[in-house]
Amino acid sequence: MEKITLIATAAFGLEAVVAHEVKKLGYTEMEVENGKVIFDADLTAMVRGNLWLRTADRIRLKVGEFKATSFEELFEQTKALPWAQWIPQNGTFPVEGKSIKSQLFSVSDCQAIVKKAVVESLKGTYKQEWFAETGPLYKIEVALLKDIATLTIDTTGPGLHKRGYRDWIGTAPLKETLATALIQLSYWNPERVLVDPLCGSGTIPIEAALIGMNIAPGMNRTFACEEWPIIPRNIWREARAETHDLAKYDRKLNIIGTDIDGEILKVARRNAQEAGVADQIHFQETPVKEWRSAKKYGVIITNPPYGERMSDRPEVEKLYQEMGKAFTAHDTWSYYVITSHKEFEKFFGRRADKKRKLYNGAMETQYYQFFGPRPPKREME
């Protein structure tokens, strides 16, 4: 098969992180746009992208793109695309959509027209009038932006943040993809100690362990395109074998997660067990104000409560003050905090060396980065 175009979707603010991951996989022909990284590759990239990308939301196959200012244009140009190249006779192909700043603003109408156009296209190839849709899933998306329609098929299924290890996520969930991005945007590496002193259900420590051991985030789950007959089974076998060959199961890491809630720590331990990294993380019940470390160099990465409800503000602001005292006592450490609280620095007691706007779901946050000195070479902390 000739080259295909894939779209790795991303939360706003993480596009450059996703692009770096795509490049590390060896796919360099790419464009970075708001909320996505578009890259040219092959069927193997579809498989490896789903298995390895840690910060992308999902991988979409781009089927076509064109200008459409009328329903007739949308229908005819959608019908002309090579749908039968991907969707078999028994394929299941629901259509979802979105429209931003486009003349075709009725999403439900656009979905219906695209569905009808795809059916007509498949009729011409398979010479049948009706499709039972009992086979593999090919979820189509019609996305209209400023009158440009982009037609894609989702290759992922449940989002890439669904690693398969988290059975309960607590009251303030942090997606695994965002947790990984926080780690990748820090100066942590597997040779240094990493601490999350407000670890909750353990997402940041667990994702750090997966990174440190080079365990592919999609190793223990399945994907929508795994059922597609167009992808030879040997591609999946070889790609999954690669995830095991490249994993560093024997690497020893120094990762610590603490929290004041003993019950949530039980969940964190169970999640770490499910992820296969329980031996790499030490969980401990400790209030953040009592956190201490004898290590000279290390990295703190944490997602504290934000105080979104006014009634929670005083307690959260007191917590930030306690964090400031505990963290700055370790002045050779680097620490990273994500929160939506506009006055975090005021209560923390120090201005960040760098800030980066990120989105935790739909919520705008800042990633506050405080840099400690670089540890000596070969420092094993």
Determine the Cα–Cα distance for residues 347 and 350; give it in Å rounded to an integer: 8
pLDDT at position 380, please? Answer: 45
Asked whether 307 and 313 are in contact (CB, 8 A), the reply is yes
- The pLDDT tens digits for 168-215 are 655 557 999 999 999 999 999 999 999 999 999 999 999 999 999 999
Place of tokens 């090919």: 138
Q: What percent of the chain has pLDDT over 70?
A: 97
Q: Please name the residues in contact with 78: beta carbons below 8 A apart, sequence gap of 6 or more.
A: 64, 113, 114, 117, 118, 121, 142, 149, 151
Max Cα separation, the chain?
73
Instruction: Encode pLDDT of 122-180 as tens digits.
Output: 999 999 999 999 999 999 999 999 999 999 999 999 999 999 898 665 555 799 999 99
Q: Which residues contact 34 (CB under 8 A, 6 or more apart)?
A: 12, 15
pLDDT in tens, the chain (381 residues): 579 999 999 999 999 999 999 999 999 999 999 999 999 999 999 999 999 999 999 999 999 999 999 999 999 999 999 999 999 999 999 999 999 999 999 999 999 999 999 999 999 999 999 999 999 999 999 999 999 999 999 999 999 999 989 866 555 579 999 999 999 999 999 999 999 999 999 999 999 999 999 999 999 999 999 999 999 999 999 999 999 999 999 999 999 999 999 999 999 999 999 999 999 999 999 999 999 999 999 999 999 999 888 778 999 999 999 999 999 999 999 999 999 999 999 999 999 999 999 999 899 999 999 999 988 876 544
User: How many Cβ atoms from other residues are within 10 Å of residue 186's Cβ?
Assistant: 20
Tokens found for residue 307: 């105080």
Mutual angle of helices 233-246 and 43-52, in 10-degree steps? 40
CB 165 within 8 A of CB 156: no
Q: How far apart are the first and last CA of the chain?
A: 49
CA distance 41 to 140: 20
- The closest alpha carbon to 207, from 172, 158, 257, belongs to 257
The amino acid at residue 195 is: V
Please, what are the domains in the chain? 4-154 (3.30.2130.30), 176-213+250-370 (3.40.50.150)
- Counting DSSP H helices and E strands in the chain, the numbers are 10, 14
